[in-house]
Amino acid sequence: MTKSVSRSPFIAIIGAGPAGLMAAERLSALSYRVAIYDRMPMPGRKFLMAGRGGLNLTHTEPLDHFLAHYGEAREFITRGVIH
């Protein structure tokens, strides 16, 4: 159930990394008012740095178990992982 924007609590998220950005996206989809704060001048800086190396996906579990984490996106991820 979504909340009325005017009466929903205001939520401050400290840290604009992937976790903070994901939390903000989920909360705003539920109509919470959200603001993200970061000590760095731009959001997602560490994650963007990771992207410089090609953003490899690594995991130690068997491929089938790993791919099962992606639900509906499994096919999309499978194409990227295997090819």
Among 13, 38, 66, 78, binds ligand FAD (CB under 6 A): 38
Query: Measured from the CB atom, is 12 or 82 closer to ligand FAD?
Result: 12
Q: x/- site string to ligand FAD, residues 48 to 67, per CB under 6 A?
A: -xx--x-xx-----------
DSSP state of 39: S
Contact between 81 and ligand FAD by CB under 6 A: the answer reads: no
Please select the residue that binds ligand FAD; options are 3, 5, 30, 45, rule is CB under 6 A. 45
The single residue listed with the structure tokens 């509906």 is 72
From residue 11 to residue 30, the character string flagging contacts with ligand FAD as x (rule: CB under 6 A) and all else as - is: ---xxxxxxx----------
- Nearest partner of 18 among 41, 61, 56, 49, judged by Cα: 49
Q: Are 3 and 30 in contact (CB under 8 A)?
A: yes
Distance of CA 70 to the CA centre of its chain: 13
